[in-house]
Structure 1
Amino acid sequence: MSITRLHPGPRMSQAVIHNGTVYLAGQVGTPGADVASQTRDCLDAIDALLEEAGTNKSKLLQVIIWLADMADFQDMNAVYDAWVDPANPAARACGEAKLATPDYKVEFIVTAAV
């Protein structure tokens, strides 16, 4: 079985494709922007990586969302709900976590079928 790595770097790849599944690295938005803007940035990056991997959001399997502050849950969901394919929603989890820097408000981790 082959493994394809998209945009590999010294620490991680932005996506790894194996056995019909694509695993995306955590996607974050523009540091310092509000949570809605960062969510849009994340979802745009997810769309682009999924397309490069030969798939799209209709084939999402799992979405894990980390918020720096659960008080941002509604603002993040307003953007996410407008983006997600309502006919093909993924299994999803959302929690609060200290992110890599205080400038990040949200991070998305996505797994999809190819």
Structure 2
Amino acid sequence: MIKRSVQTPIMHRFVEHAGTIYFGGLIADDVAQGMGEQTADICRKLDKLLAEAGSDKTKLLSATLYVTDMSLKKEMNDAWTAWLAADDLPARATLGVAELGKGVLIEVVVTAARS
């Protein structure tokens, strides 16, 4: 069975199938912030969505991080590793992209297991 939750005009925030939860891309609420702050904001949003989906950050399986400025990758990594314990780090890719929208420095897509 497929379960879709938190519908937006263009997608669902997460979709679950066979105990795996797929999350759509998330950006920070305040895109006037720097890379570290945007990343931390997204992580807080992920905490809430993961809980709503019946999971948590220790169940992350994979993450794809899209960033507009790879020179800010250290700030992103610092916020990411402050949020996640070393034992809970998912498989991850970071991709440089030209544009994510005005002021958006990072967008994060994750997949998690159900608790």
Question: TM-score higher than 0.5 here?
Answer: yes
Code of the residue aligned with 1:98 in structure 2: it is A
Note the aligned Cα RMSD (angstroms).
Answer: 1.1
Query: Which runs of structure 1 show a deviation greater than 6 angstroms over 4 or more consecutive aligned residues?
Result: none
Q: How does 1:67-82 map to 2 (within 5 A)?
A: 67-82=67-82
Report the CA distance between 1:35 and its aligned residue. Answer: 0.8
Q: TM-score, normalised by structure 2?
A: 0.92
Whether the 8 Å contact between 1:60 and 1:110 is mirrored in structure 2 is yes
Distance 2:8 2:89 in 1: 30
Hey, what does 1:17 align to over in structure 2? 16
**Alignment: residue pair count:** 113
Distance 2:70 2:102 in 1: 14
Hey, what does 2:47 align to over in structure 1? 47
Structure 1 stretches of 5 or more lacking a match?
A: none
Distance 1:73 1:60 in 2: 20
Structure 2 stretches of 5 or more lacking a match?
A: none
Question: Deviation per CA, 1:20-60, whole angstroms, max 9, x where unpaired?
Answer: 00011111012221111110111011111111010111111
Distance 1:45 1:98 in 2: 24
Distance 1:78 1:87 in 2: 16
Code of the residue aligned with 1:33 in structure 2: it is Q
The percent of aligned pairs where both chains have the same amino acid is: 33
